[in-house]
Amino acid sequence: MPEIAAFVNRGASAITPTVVEKMLHSLPQWTLEFTQIHEPLFPHLSEQLGFLANAVEDAAEGAYKDLPYYAVAQATFALIYAHKRVGIIPDILLSLGRADDSSVVRAALIQNEKAFAIYAAAQDVDWSRITSQP
């Protein structure tokens, strides 16, 4: 997992407020796409992506001001990565196509677990349902 965490950190380092702002325009469509993910090997992925989308949106729009920017940047990178159809493992590969997406999302969640747990509590979201497990 250290390699994936380093990959997420590198990707997040390129996320600027302008990137977040541009992504916000596409986020409603992406969130809808994320709800259509049904991967038995990665049962939490859809809910995790929805959680990250809400967190980024709330932070970017000022509805939640206590999320550190590095958490927003890593979440944004994870959302952008999951939206792309071609990644380390192309999404078209049955069963395994979402493995890299799940790993990137989990790395963002794990590295910011405390901040996201506080956000979840503030939003009355059951953090145990978002879990950083696959």
∠ at Cα 34 (31, 38), nearest 5°?
155
* Residue 97 pLDDT: 63
| The pLDDT of residue 15 is above 90 | yes
Per-domain residue ranges of the chain: 2-130
The model carries a pTM of 0.90
Per-residue pLDDT tens over the stretch 66-101 = 999 999 999 999 999 998 765 555 444 455 567 888
Dist CA 60 CA 119 (whole Å): 14
* Residue 1 pLDDT: 62
- The residue that leads in pLDDT, 98 or 3, is 3
